[in-house]
Amino acid sequence: MTTLKAEKRAWQSLKQPPPELPPLFPSSESNAQLPLPDASLLDSEEAQILTTLTDPSTALNPQKIQSRLQALQNSLDFRIDHLSDNVQKLEHRVKTGGLQADRVLALSAARLKEREEKERASAGTKDMPVMEVLRSLGRILPPESGGGG
């Protein structure tokens, strides 16, 4: 009965509104007061982006930004196509490699079976079951070697 009450309380707590949390992003007025990150702690690309954004000589011109974004998008489309093509080629090579490996393993297994049959034929045990061969060897070997003697 107590588990039902605890479950009921849990469901009722879910119905209550969540507690007030501070805003995820501060208001635009406080953005001007935020300190800039230390460029020495950033990667070279990040530092270059920071200097581009904070350099007063490069005023944020919407048309300039749009043309730059368009150029980046065009090069990104090409890079994605190139990546997709390479992934497709890699998948094809993996599939082909798998097929070749299967073929090599099948040929090796056939060759091994052929060799085993030749050895059994040369030993005169071709038609004997393996257990019978092992029993015969056990009777031949001396007792200290594990034979039945």
The sign one gets for the Cα dihedral 23, 28, 32, 38 is: positive
Question: Which residues form the domain of 77?
Answer: 70-141
What are the tens digits of pLDDT across the range 75-132?
A: 888 899 999 999 999 999 999 999 999 999 999 999 999 998 888 788 777 777 878 8
- Token pair of 58 as six digits: 């490069």
Nearest to 96, CA basis, from 88, 84, 85, 108? 88
- Asked if 147 and 141 count as a contact pair (C-beta separation under 8 A), the reply is yes
Q: What is the structure's pLDDT at 28?
A: 59
- Asked if 49 and 68 count as a contact pair (C-beta separation under 8 A), the reply is no
Lowest average pLDDT, out of 8-17, 48-57, 137-146, goes to: 137-146
How many domains is the chain built from? 1
What are the tens digits of pLDDT across the range 17-57?
A: 877 877 776 665 555 566 778 888 889 888 888 887 777 66
| Residue 79 in domain | yes
Q: Is 67 in a helix, a strand, or coil?
A: helix
Q: What is the structure's pLDDT at 59?
A: 61
| Residue 48 in domain | no
| Residue 12 in domain | no
| Residue 104 in domain | yes
Residue type, 124: G
| Residue 18 in domain | no
